[in-house]
Chain A
Amino acid sequence: MEYIIAKYNYWIYIVLMMIGFYAMIAKKNLVKKLLGLNIFQWTIILFYISTSVKKGGATIPIMDKAIDIANPALYLNPLPHVLMLTAIVVGVSTTGVALALVVLLYRRFHTLDEDEIFEKIRELK
């Protein structure tokens, strides 16, 4: 039990990730699949951010410029935040392309249900 509480951020990210994963596999609606994908991506961002947390009054160097740089206990590692800015941009553009594809599919088949689209594709032949 202590093991779980000590690393609770990792357990939360695993649980959220599995929720996203389940939505991508099991849901038939394309938009729900896309939401699952988003949950999946954002949990990774949470995971990265939570790795740079430091307890005991540590802050960001930009906030307090007088900080003693030689003492690493006083400031947070800013790199995971910066990396996640890029990952957010990537996630947003993936979502944008996916939404465009969903709109295209809806215009062509007038439904968002995967099974119905499959059936209409079969009729195309």
Chain B
Amino acid sequence: MLIDQLPAIIIVVPLLMAILVNFVGIWFRSACYYLTVATVSVSFLSSLGIMQEVMLKGRTSYRLGGWEPPWGIEYMVDHLNAFILVIITAIALLSVIFSYNPIKKDMPARVPQFYSLFLLLTLGLIGMTITGDAFNLYVLIEITSIACYALIAKGDDKSPLAAFNYLIIGTIGACFYLLGVGYLYIMAGSLNILDLSTLLPKVYGTNAILAAFTFFMVGIAIKMAFFPLHGWLPNAYSHAPDTVSAFMAATVTKVSAYVMIRVMFTIFQPQYSLSAIPVMPLLGWLSVGAMMYGCILALAQKDIKRMLSYIIIAEVGYIVVGISTANKLGFIGAVLHIMNDAIMMICLFLAAAAIAYKTGAKDIDSYRGLAKKMPLTTIAFLIGAVSVVGVPPTCGFFSKWYLLLGTIDSGNFAFTAALLLSSLMSAIVMYRVLQSLYSANKEISTKNDEAPLSMLVPIYVSAIAVVIIGFFSGDIISSVIQYTVPAGYK
């Protein structure tokens, strides 16, 4: 049956097409775009199919090559996976539709290679989410990262150095993860995530497991740009090509946040993650640091993409503070915020990319008066900005609401204060941009000069999604997210 094969199709189709696109591009350069759109659409439709399967039947598993799970590689899909899969593939579809004009303008000679790398990046992210094997996860982390390094280096003059630094830091992160897997394999003798979660309790309390847990957390924290280890992110995202930074900003850190949840609550049992070392207060205070640092430095930036990059660091802090509350409300807030942050960021980055494409404006000062010239893009940017601040009825409000309730419930009022303070600061950050956009500027002609339709449609789909998802937050929580909460959370 086709529906049983969906977990394979979602990853095999982009993998094959990533190679094929190169060859097709030799003869039919213009076909690459349509092929990529078709491929990502197939992945998106399969992710919807998987979501439906999971909602009907609960956790499903797919055996690659028919090998039994503890020995063979298993693709394990539960509510959390399926939810993240839909988000990633939807965002990949939006950014690939958007990429038609900017890529033709930025790198006309490298169109097939761009789409090949783009598909590899998408496939890596999908694989990281869907796999049920700890070592397989390492390989897919590296596929994602290598595609990222290559794509970032296609940006402006400073991008190769940013990509090189990201490569050094990112490889250290992945190596730490690999070491963690090694320690677990020595102690438990398995690589399957579900198998590990039943085998590990026998050896809890040994130093080797503690070391493995620490290696995992540090490695993943590097990959998700969590506060003290965020150094690579602002340079990498602000110098990358616009479409690439939009796609990466919305997905890479979010998928890493998913991996962190998977390690803390599936590989290790929640009671271990909560009690082994005081990891929860540590994560909480570090994410307070992330929120403050991200927002303060975002205030100091002139370049719009750099400013948004610092906002991402703060948003990663929001997600982790939700995990660190160790209660149901906070966890729901964290998972909901993974989705909302992805949609907000794709909306803002795509709008900024469209403005850069039409006018070349890249910093806040040169945004003056653009609201008259590109009114539709500006409205989309406004919706995304309002959602980052957390104004109802946009989706940003609801996840922040759950995060606030979670921190109040856990009794850490310092975290509540930090959440409110950083929301206020992001309001100031966004106000600066919007003020510049809507101020009068006589030098710019007021003639309406909008971005082409292939750019406006993805921007508007994401902007409308920001509002619609806000309205349906309750339904999403009751039909999907409440099943992702670890057992024992109240």
- Write out the residue numbers on chain B whose beta carbons fall within 8 Å of the beta carbon of A37: 167-168, 171-172
Pairwise interchain contact A87-B149, C-beta atoms closer than 8 A: no
A79 to B72, CA, bound (A): 12
Chain A, range 43-76, C-beta contacts under 8 Å to B:
44, 47-48, 51
Number of residue pairs across A and B with beta carbons under 8 Å? Answer: 72
Residues of B within 8 A of A48 (CB): 182
CA of A44 to CA of B182 in the docked complex: distance in angstroms? 9
Q: Cβ of B179: which chain A residues have Cβ within 8 Å of it?
A: 44, 47
Does B376 sit within 8 A of A, measured CB to CB? no
Bound-state CA distance A90–B160 (Å) is 20
Chain B hits for A34, CB < 8 A:
168
Mark A78-118 against chain B: 1 for CB-CB distance below 8 A, else 0.
01100100110010011001101110110010000000011
CB neighbours of B160 from chain A (8 A): 101, 104-105, 108
Q: Given the complex, which residues of A lie within 8 Å of B135, measured CB to CB? A: 83, 86
| Inter-chain contact A121/B157, CB cutoff 8 Å | yes
By beta carbon, the residue of chain A nearest B139 is A86
Q: Is the CB of A121 within 8 A of B161?
A: yes
Decide yes or no: A80 and B185 within 8 Å by CB, A41-B171, A93-B146 being known contacts. Answer: yes
Task: State whether B167 touches A101 (Cβ < 8 A).
Answer: yes
Asked whether any CB of chain A lies closer than 8 Å to the CB of B164, the reply is yes
Q: Which residue of A lies closest to B141 (CB)?
A: A90
Question: How many residues does chain A have at the interface if contact means C-beta atoms less than 8 Å apart?
Answer: 32
Residues on B with C-beta less than 8 A from A80 are 185
Q: Which residues of A contact B153 (CB under 8 A)?
A: 100-101, 104
Interface residue B450 (Cβ < 8 Å from any Cβ of A): no
- Chief secondary structure at chain B's binding surface: helix
Segment 18-45 of A: residues with Cβ below 8 Å from B: 21, 24, 30, 33-34, 37, 40-41, 44
Residue of B at shortest CB range from A87? B178
A98 touches B167 (CB 8 A): yes
Q: Which residue of chain A has its CB nearest to the CB of B167?
A: A98
Asked whether, in the complex, the Cβ of A94 is within 8 Å of the Cβ of B146, the reply is: yes
A124 within 8 A of B: yes
Q: How far is the CA of A121 from the CA of B172 in the complex (A)?
A: 25
Nearest residue (CB) in B for A121 is B158
The smallest C-beta distance from A9 to any residue of chain B, in angstroms, reads: 12
Residues of A within 8 A of B150 (CB): 97, 100
Taken together as a complex, chains A and B put the C-alpha atoms of A105 and B162 apart, in Å, by 11
Encode contact with B along A1-30: 1 for CB under 8 Å, 0 otherwise: 000000000000000000001001000001
Is B164's CB under 8 angstroms from A108's CB? no
Please state if A105 and B164 are interface contacts (CB–CB under 8 Å).
Answer: yes
B106 interface hit (Cβ, 8 Å): no
B161 — which chain A residues lie within 8 A by C-beta?
105, 117-118, 121
Contact with A along B61-81 (1 / 0, CB 8 A): 000000000000000000000
CB pair A102–B164 under 8 Å, yes or no, is yes
In the complex, what distance in Å separates the CA atom of A44 from the CA atom of B171?
A: 12
Residues of A near B157 (CB, < 8 A) are 108, 121, 124
Q: Give A98 to B157 CA distance when docked, in angstroms.
A: 17
Residues of A within 8 A of B175 (CB): 40-41, 44
A108–B155 Cα distance when bound, in Å, is 13
- Which one, A40, A87, A100, contacts B172 given CB within 8 A? A40
Residues of A within 8 A of B142 (CB): 90, 93-94
- Which of A33, A100, A104 has a CB less than 8 Å from the CB of B168? A33
In the complex, chain A residues whose CB is within 8 Å of the CB of B163: 101
**What is the minimal beta-carbon distance from A5 to any residue of chain B, in angstroms?**
19
> Contacts of A93 on B, CB cut-off 8 Å?
142, 146
Nearest B residue to A38 via CB reads B171
Q: Does B26 contact A (CB under 8 A)?
A: no
Instruction: Tell me the bound Cα distance from A83 to B178 in angstroms.
Output: 10
Quote the shortest CB–CB distance from A73 to chain B (angstroms). Answer: 16
In the complex, chain B residues whose CB is within 8 Å of the CB of A83: 135
Distance in angstroms from B210 CB to nearest chain A CB is 15
Nearest B residue to A47 by beta-carbon distance?
A: B182
Interface membership of B1, Cβ < 8 A: no
Q: Which of B174-194 contact A (CB under 8 A)?
A: 175, 178-179, 182, 185-186
In the complex, chain B residues whose CB is within 8 Å of the CB of A86 = 135, 139
Which residues of chain A have a CB within 8 Å of any CB of chain B? 21, 24, 30, 33-34, 37, 40-41, 44, 47-48, 51, 79-80, 83, 86-87, 90, 93-94, 97-98, 100-102, 104-105, 108, 117-118, 121, 124
- Where the two chains meet, the residues of B that have a C-beta atom closer than 8 Å to any C-beta of A are 135, 138-139, 142, 146, 149-150, 153, 157-158, 160-161, 163-164, 167-168, 171-172, 175, 178-179, 182, 185-186
Instruction: Pick 19 A–B contacts, CB within 8 A, sort by A.
Output: A33-B168, A40-B172, A51-B182, A51-B186, A79-B185, A86-B139, A93-B146, A94-B167, A97-B146, A98-B164, A98-B168, A100-B150, A101-B160, A104-B153, A104-B160, A105-B160, A118-B161, A121-B157, A121-B158
* A-B pairs with lowest CB-CB distance, top 3: A90-B142, A104-B160, A101-B164
- Known: A121-B157, A121-B161; 19 extra A-B contacts, CB below 8 A, are A37-B167, A37-B168, A37-B171, A44-B175, A47-B179, A51-B182, A79-B185, A83-B135, A90-B142, A93-B142, A94-B142, A97-B146, A97-B150, A98-B168, A100-B153, A101-B153, A104-B153, A105-B164, A108-B160
